[in-house]
Amino acid sequence: MATEVARKDPIWASPRLWRSEMRNLLALCVKRDVFSRRAAVLIMEEALTSMQDYEFDVASSGVLELVELSDCTAYDCEFVSLAERLNVPLVTSDKKLLGAFPKLTTSMDAFLQGS
């Protein structure tokens, strides 16, 4: 479904934390033999290139405020904080984020069904 979201809106913004999240996902795929380490490195290089101008630092104060208002992790709140700052919805499949921040988040299904 993320592929469909990317087709609809190919420009994604993210806090710099995305790099660690992506590496973790790729490591899991390598360990499960979904693809090779070499393929994972190539995927990461491609992702770095595509995100080059769309990585942002987020203010700790904003992240911690969101953590205080919810039961979400600071990691997740970095994404919410950036969406709030850029005045765009955070498109996510994370049910906890969708429940905690309904005005700042939208599900992938809802995003794809919207105009």
31-90 pLDDT, tens digit per residue, is 999 999 999 999 999 999 999 999 999 999 999 999 999 999 999 999 999 999 999 999
- Distances in Å between the Cα of 29 and the Cα atoms of 17, 24, 36 are 19, 9, 8
Nearest Cα residue to 15 out of 71, 72, 86, 104: 86
Contacts of 11 (CB under 8 A, 6+ apart): 54
- For residue 22, the 8-state DSSP code is H
For the chain, the structural domain boundaries read 12-57, 58-115
| pTM confidence score | 0.88
CATH 3.40.309.10 fits 58-115, yes or no: no
Contact 82, 63 (CB under 8 A): no
